[in-house]
Structure 1
Amino acid sequence: MATSDKTAVPKIRSRKDGAAVPLDDTDKSLMNKLQGAFPLVPRPYAQIGADLGLSEDEVVKRTDRLVKERIIRQVTPIYDTRAFGYGSMLVAAKVDPEHPWGPAKIINEHPGVSHNYLRNHEFNMWFTIAVEEDSKLGLQGTLDVLQELTKAESIRQLPTLQLFKIRMDLEMTGDTKSLASAGVAVPPAETERQPYDEFDKKVVRATQGSLPVVPEPFQPAADELGIPVLSLLEHLEGMTERKLLRRVAAILFHRRAGFSANGMGVWQVDPERIEEIGIRMAAYRGISHCYQRPTYADWKYQLFTMAHGRSKEECDAILDAIQTEVPGIEDRATLYSSTEFKKIRLLYFTDDFREWERKYAGV
């Protein structure tokens, strides 16, 4: 199994790359469309253009410009980590608050770390990590190694107990009122491992990472697999039905797209009403992620929500609306990120995981 050559390089926020870029109404409508569900058809930009009253050529050119200006991070398949059997969780660590960059560099080197942030809390480093199904170390062993390497004072494992929402769309045309309003509540999502085969793995390797911004973006992957593009698209549709593929969509650089703040609202709620409350929280348009996670003696919050806004005040408005409108909430804290150490899409079925375990644990 070869190591993928599509490895994403994490970008650390800077003043230069972090500033919002002016966008016209057509850009915003296009970005809303691209974040929704990229059509699984041979010429998806033509279909998007037809929906927006634009030519295929204009949609391709605008999308390419938004990528080059680092507003759109990538257009990519979004595969389900748990469906492929990867063990994953959110982790909160207490590292030296005066020198967090050293621990961050160590944590970021693990190929299963897709997000890593410094947040305003005693537990100051928050990262998501995944390990392969056949990992020799497993999640616990991996975290033990990372704790030793980073000299973290404490690590809190915060796996998902219930997933209520994971949908990273930024409402480009919505105002604060719309972001702080509730939509339709839906039941918790499926998060269990699903069956898959070797051809599924080949499809993942061929399609993961950034799709080219060209009129026929699926053709190179079909050529790599040696199958007609219609066969690839049919297979991707089947992977969606089998819950392996969530969707194909554009992922944005939040700050460059105008969303300069994100607040992690953590909630202590009536333990008898966790599912009911989680479903209601997830319905708010400004919430991208909503989970139930375990509690500890020094961590009382059962529900986690991620709010994204154009300012801290907008994030607060979203979380305040939830606190006002959803009954059963006992306490809330809001953790804001001050530094983004890493943010990438996870790449599956590469040699990188095994190489990390050999390097740091000799297994």
Structure 2
Amino acid sequence: MEEIDLKILDLLQTEFPLVSKPFDTIGRQIGISENETIDRVKDLFTNGLIRQISAIFDTRRLGYDSCLIAMQIPKEEIDDAAKVINEHPGVSHNYARSHLFNLWFTIATPPGRDLLSDVEKLSNDISVHATLTLPALRMFKLNVRLDVTRSRNPLATEPGNSRKKTKVELHLSPLTDIEIAVIRELQENILIEESPFRGIADRIGITEIELFSIANKFINEGRMRRFAAVLRHRESGFKANAMAVWNVPEDDVEKVGNQFAAFQAVSHCYERPPQPPIWPYNIFTMVHARTTEECLGILNVMSQSAGVKEYDYLFSEKEYKKIRVRYFV
């Protein structure tokens, strides 16, 4: 892949400009024309490297409930079970992983709908030996940015990105009809054209300036994490993606969570409730690497740096579903 394409992918993951002519802005940063930028981004989509360019919203701050679910499914039935689970509109990620609990998915439900009831209904429709319900208690990091340019050391730590986030919710004002319309539009893949936000604003019945004002308001409130591209991990060279789970003493959770969150190779770091004795782990991290050996090496360094010896890792074996939750549809 050309260096220019790698730079584009790196920029798009960080933040897509919320301006009238975003591809002109991106092109200027790299030193190419707007038309060339558009053509290259289209090619990156066609070649399967970019999954989506859209808003990334905070599920809970939009009033939705969400949870990570793990199920123990007979191996010969896992594909059929995954199909049933994928039919739920709130299931955004669904993976087979290398563990006794071999099917892992995230599920979200809108305000007024009971998430656990939906999980129970799904369980009744498939063959399940055991289920783990693992809501996020605390988020230390959520920042998926694959180092496609190989400019960052995966073992490097970034203290500035390590910050504690608790479940305490802001007192946010109710969403207006216009704001909900903006969410519905911005959650979809944008068109790769000179002025992709013009059509969005027209459909809502507002100006581009008003659209950007609402989007920036969402960012300031934490309702929108950012507007950016999500890449396909394997196609981008990251073929070893492991969910590492750690048994951390309760008094050390905050310290260790912040330590793990600082690692460049870690995209997600959460505290979740342990369910001993079958599941003693309370910190979850997602680690992305180019090879299995590199991934295991990163986990070893993380273990030694935090002094946490009891951990396990679950590699992604099969991707059944990976989409964004579609809100207010």
Q: Which bin holds the TM-score, normalised by the shorter protein?
A: over 0.9
Deviation of 1:317 (Å): 2.1
Task: Tell me which of 239, 242, 249 is aligned to 1:270.
Answer: 249
Deviation of 1:347 (Å): 0.5
For structure 1, the 5+ residue unaligned runs are: 1-22, 351-363
Please give the TM-score of this superposition, normalised by the length of structure 1: 0.87
2:142 is aligned to: 166
2:271 is aligned to: 292
Counterparts of 1:19-168 in structure 2 under 5 Å? 23-135=1-113, 138-168=114-144
Distance, in Å, in 2 between the alignment partners of 1:161 and 1:190 is: 7
1:304 is aligned to: 284
- Indicate the SS of the match to 2:321: strand
What is the CA deviation profile of residues 59-85 of structure 1, one whole-angstrom value per residue up to 9, with x for unaligned ones?
Answer: 111111101111111111111101011
Distance, in Å, in 2 between the alignment partners of 1:340 and 1:82 is: 24
Alpha-carbon contact 1:181-1:321 (below 8 Å) kept: no
What is the CA deviation profile of residues 168-194 of structure 1, one whole-angstrom value per residue up to 9, with x for unaligned ones?
Answer: 11011226x701221115322355364
> Does residue 1:199 correspond to 2:175, yes or no?
no
Residue correspondences, number: 324
For structure 2, the 5+ residue unaligned runs are: none
**Higher deviation after alignment, 45-54 or 156-165:** 45-54
Q: Which amino acid letter does the alignment assign opposite residue 247 of structure 2?
A: Q
Alpha-carbon contact 1:183-1:285 (below 8 Å) kept: yes
Q: Which amino acid letter does the alignment assign opposite residue 189 of structure 2?
A: S
Task: Tell me which of 241, 249, 273 is aligned to 2:228.
Answer: 249
Alpha-carbon contact 2:90-2:108 (below 8 Å) kept: yes
Q: Which amino acid letter does the alignment assign opposite residue 251 of structure 2?
A: E
Distance, in Å, in 1 between the alignment partners of 2:250 and 2:222 is: 29
Q: In 2 relative to 1, CA 182–132 (structure 1 residues): closer, same or farther, beyond 3 Å? A: same
**Higher deviation after alignment, 280-289 or 183-192:** 183-192
Alpha-carbon contact 2:269-2:286 (below 8 Å) kept: yes
> Does residue 1:227 correspond to 2:203, yes or no?
no
- Indicate the SS of the match to 2:89: coil
1:238 is aligned to: 217
1:179 is aligned to: 154
Deviation of 1:151 (Å): 2.3
Q: Which amino acid letter does the alignment assign opposite residue 260 of structure 1?
A: K
Deviation of 1:46 (Å): 1.0
Q: Which amino acid letter does the alignment assign opposite residue 336 of structure 1?
A: F
Distance, in Å, in 2 between the alignment partners of 1:214 and 1:26 is: 19
Distance, in Å, in 2 between the alignment partners of 1:271 and 1:81 is: 26
Alpha-carbon contact 2:303-2:309 (below 8 Å) kept: no
How big is the alpha-carbon RMSD for the aligned residues of Structure 1 and Structure 2? 1.3
Q: Which amino acid letter does the alignment assign opposite residue 141 of structure 2?
A: K
1:341 is aligned to: 320
Distance, in Å, in 1 between the alignment partners of 2:47 and 2:309 is: 43
Deviation of 1:312 (Å): 1.2
Alpha-carbon contact 1:36-1:249 (below 8 Å) kept: yes
Distance, in Å, in 2 between the alignment partners of 1:51 and 1:332 is: 42
- Indicate the SS of the match to 2:77: coil
Alpha-carbon contact 1:76-1:250 (below 8 Å) kept: yes
Deviation of 1:330 (Å): 3.5
